Amino acid sequence: MAVKAMKDKTRESSLPEFRNEPFTDFSRPENRSAMQAAVEKVRGQLGREYDLIIGGKKIRTAEKFCSYNPSRKDEVVGVFQKCTPELAARAVEAAHEYFPRWAKAPAEQRAGTLLKASQILRRRKFEMAAWMVFEVGKSWAEADGDVAEALDFCEFYAREMLRLAGSQPLTPVSGEENELRYIPLGVGVVISPWNFPLAIMLGMSSAAWVAGNTVVLKPSSDSPAVAAQWMGILQEAGLPSEVVNFLTGSGSVVGDTLVKHPQTRFISFTGSKEVGLNINEQAAKTAPGQIWIKRVVAEMGGKDSIVVDSDVNLDAAVEGVFVSAFGYQGQKCSACSRAIVAADVYDSFVEKLRARAETIRMGAADDPDNYMGPVINETAKKSMLEYIEVGKKEGRLILGGQTAPGDGHFIQPTIIADVAPKARISQEEIFGPVLAVLKARDFDDALEIANNTEYGLTGAVFSNSREHLEQARSSFHVGNLYFNRKCTGALVGGHPFGGFNMSGTDSKAGGRDYLLLFTQAKSVSEKI
């Protein structure tokens, strides 16, 4: 055991301590030029066709679909295969067949492959950001942040796998030699979203395979090109092509097949509450031939609030709300969609926020001078406009409320004040640049309002009162709570991310317990 402990210590100490990837400073001319070159390079690659990958083999189907640039809604980013239920079942079965081989691969090999992929991704940082600029309408800064988070997931999960592969602390038992080891589960179905098309997709799938599982990856149909670029990086890094199966197409067509298949061991999902609840329900039903209880790891969104106390620097609070509400067009599950403001400073806050939001420049995401780009697609834009019409009746429109000019799916930053706590736009997830502002009588009332939705993902409090901050620490029921800063921008390792209630299973992505969701603990005791 002493020799094994020494090997474990050597294994973990061979890597430098994890540090978050720094963001790119685009005010520096060399960075700006490099990003512009990457944008032009990717622009020249738009419109290519991509294959399914099942059991390491590339497959094309008769039916295709396209992903489009939301900044220029008719510009094709890529052409993709429409996966069928039959091919989806084949992917699960191929992953199941390869699983025993991959499960036996040493943890050092799996972690080493992920670290090599991280090195390749870091070299292509600007290029991968450019793909997100075109496919999902992220600004340069937002796309760069997505890549940085993806790199953090690679580096963090590789280290976590090495930690879990080492000796685990157990209480000594006289006359026995005891060991606890973490082993993989089996086939994981990973259904990833479009809003963080690299970071969340990469984080969900890489955590699964670095732990020794095989994966069926089904990215959002709004962002398959970004996922396809990552698949190319995995191939270059030397990951066996059978480990991650790559499916594109409609989740409504293949989702049930993937979730219900008896050889599916777990499902990792990020998306809407409705889809997540359906996955959870279907996974709970035991299929003929199934010999395990399927796990579901789900992140399902939020209705996130920032509370502004009466004793704060209003400019700082306004900036925190502004960035949280309108960064990436409010298309983050962590975005601030409700500002709950103490009555004493309410009117001043609303006026300052309106003035700040009026400075936003909107337009195509490939122009680095635009702060806000498009929303993801026509369906989302229509839904947001319908909510705005509801909001006009439920509160006082003080900014925006309309589409914005351009060839893409543009909506003005919208602020609706004087909203009641139980109004629809105060309760339902809008997932766009629409902010409701609510007046609270006092801090107790503000916290009560903050907790009055079915969600519990992120929240923030701006206050100079230690008493109020401590009250929020214990009473504000969210998975990620921030004081005197924005409620977006969780950092891997520092802010393990996941929410309560209908926000999901509180999976804590980027935390030290995340890989445990994709493993099972086996205890071995030997009498000596």
The answer, yes or no, to whether residue 518 has pLDDT greater than 90, is yes
Number of helices (H), then strands (E), belonging to the chain: the values are 16, 21
Pair 521, 425 in one domain: no
Pair 147, 6 in one domain: yes
Q: Is 154 a catalytic residue?
A: no
Pair 291, 319 in one domain: no
142, 299, 394, 429: the active-site residue? 299
Domain of residue 313 covers 304-491
Question: Would residue 149 count as lying in a domain?
Answer: yes
Pair 136, 226 in one domain: yes
Beta bridge partner(s), residue 522: 181
154, 333, 336, 487: the active-site residue? 333
- Is the Cβ–Cβ distance between 392 and 416 less than 8 Å? yes
> For the segment 199-235, what is each residue's pLDDT rounded down to a tens digit?
999 999 999 999 999 999 999 999 999 999 999 999 9
pTM: 0.96
- Is the Cβ–Cβ distance between 411 and 432 less than 8 Å? yes
**Averaged confidence pLDDT in the chain:** 96
Pair 435, 464 in one domain: yes
- Is the Cβ–Cβ distance between 189 and 267 less than 8 Å? yes
Question: Would residue 453 count as lying in a domain?
Answer: yes
- Is the Cβ–Cβ distance between 178 and 525 less than 8 Å? yes
Instruction: Give me the pLDDT at residue 12, please.
Output: 53
Pair 155, 294 in one domain: yes
Domain count, the chain: 2
Pair 294, 328 in one domain: no
Pair 173, 61 in one domain: yes
In the chain the first and final C-alpha atoms are separated, in Å, by 13
**CATH code where residue 79 lies:** 3.40.605.10
Pair 264, 229 in one domain: yes
> For the segment 251-307, what is each residue's pLDDT rounded down to a tens digit?
999 999 999 999 999 999 999 999 999 999 999 999 999 999 999 999 999 999 999
> For the segment 25-64, what is each residue's pLDDT rounded down to a tens digit?
999 999 999 999 999 999 999 999 999 999 999 999 999 9
Question: Would residue 501 count as lying in a domain?
Answer: no
Pair 271, 365 in one domain: no
Token couple for 147 = 């890549």
Instruction: Give me the pLDDT at residue 207, please.
Output: 98
What is the rounded CA–CA span in Å between residue 520 and residue 390? Answer: 47
What is the rounded CA–CA span in Å between residue 257 and residue 84? Answer: 9
Q: Is 487 a catalytic residue?
A: no
Pair 231, 360 in one domain: no
Pair 61, 184 in one domain: yes
Q: CA angle, 417 as apex, 415 and 419 as ends, to 5°?
A: 120
Residue 287 DSSP label: P
